[in-house]
Amino acid sequence: MSILIGDDTRLVVQGITGRDGSFHARRMREYGTNVVAGVTPGKGGQLFDDEVPVFNTMAQAVEETGANASVIYVPAAFASGAIYEAADAGVDLVVCITEGLPVGDMTRVMPYLEERGTRLIGPNCPGLIVPGSCKVGILPGSIVEEGPVGIVSRSGTLTYEVIHQLTGAGIGQSTCVGIGGDPIIGTDFVDALEMFEADDRTEAVVLIGEIGGTDEQVAARYAEEQMETPVVGFVAGQTAPPGRTMGHAGAIISGSEGTAEEKMRVFEEHGVSVAERPADIVPAIQTVL
């Protein structure tokens, strides 16, 4: 099994004719993802790479291809509109890679998606990958390996580093999910942990957090109260100065709750194994598997 995506995913790439959309559409297809359509307004009727039909609207793409997921590579000014359009078309999953979406846009997007039962990953995220099956987004397929460890992360490049270390140690992954580091995101740590707990393939989870907010603390409490699957946690930004945004818009410390020290303390209090450095994650996972 896997979570969120798999062999039954039928993907639409919103912005498929743009620079980023076209590049990553090819990488996703090369990995084995079933990319059934692309959407670029005004370019309907074209074929991407002589095979994938391009439509003017998501509604047309879904009606013609039976797509059930979309990934968004459009500029920030148009990304919220692309999310609305995907939800209106009836896809179950929307993955928004685009960064820089205004918080005000996201405050309107989230209740809209909840009304329609559409799950959002992101924005400002690397997407997700099921090793050996399907990838949606920009996670590099060359570093993953099939196995029992689920990964959920607020970081992008740190996710790649951890995956690479796990694979190098012969520890494969079930599903890797980058949820994004913005203040408002569609899927949070608890959502992912709940899915991993229900996934027979996942025997342990690596949770990669960062400074800012209290999502990691909430996740730690959930792991203790609701999960039998062991969780290893790491918090990025341990040396960040207070009050400064580091990397992501959501990674800003306000008071004591958003500090790395506070998050790591709560992890330990609730039975989440704490890795102080990325290099400590592999030994910690080896201990709990």
Q: Is residue 133 part of a domain?
A: no
Task: Examine the domain organization and report whether 197 and 275 are in the same domain.
Answer: yes
Q: Is residue 30 part of a domain?
A: yes
CATH number reported for the structural domain that contains residue 284 in this entry: 3.40.50.261
Task: Examine the domain organization and report whether 115 and 151 are in the same domain.
Answer: no
Q: Confirm if 285 and 206 have CB atoms less than 8 A apart.
A: yes
Residues 180-206 pLDDT 10s: 989 899 999 999 999 999 999 999 999
Task: Examine the domain organization and report whether 194 and 243 are in the same domain.
Answer: yes
Tell me the two tokens of residue 262.
């506070």
pTM: 0.94
24 is catalytic: no
Task: Examine the domain organization and report whether 163 and 196 are in the same domain.
Answer: yes
Last residue of a domain, one of 67, 93, 121: 121
Task: Examine the domain organization and report whether 17 and 104 are in the same domain.
Answer: yes
Residues 170-186 pLDDT 10s: 999 999 999 998 989 99
Residues 113-170 pLDDT 10s: 999 999 999 999 999 999 999 999 999 999 999 999 999 999 888 999 999 999 999 9
DSSP string, 206-275: EEEEESSSSHHHHHHHHHHHH--S-EEEEEE-TTPPTT---SSTT----SSTTSHHHHHHHHHHTT-EE-
* DSSP E strand boundaries for 104-157: 119-121, 127-130, 134-137, 146-153
Last residue of a domain, one of 55, 90, 121: 121
* Predicted local confidence at residue 89, as pLDDT: 98
Pairing of the two strands 231-236 and 173-178: unpaired
Across the range 6-27, mean pLDDT stands at 98
CATH number reported for the structural domain that contains residue 91 in this entry: 3.40.50.720
Checking if the pLDDT of 253 tops 80, the result is no
What's the domain range around 257? 140-288
Across the range 51-69, mean pLDDT stands at 98
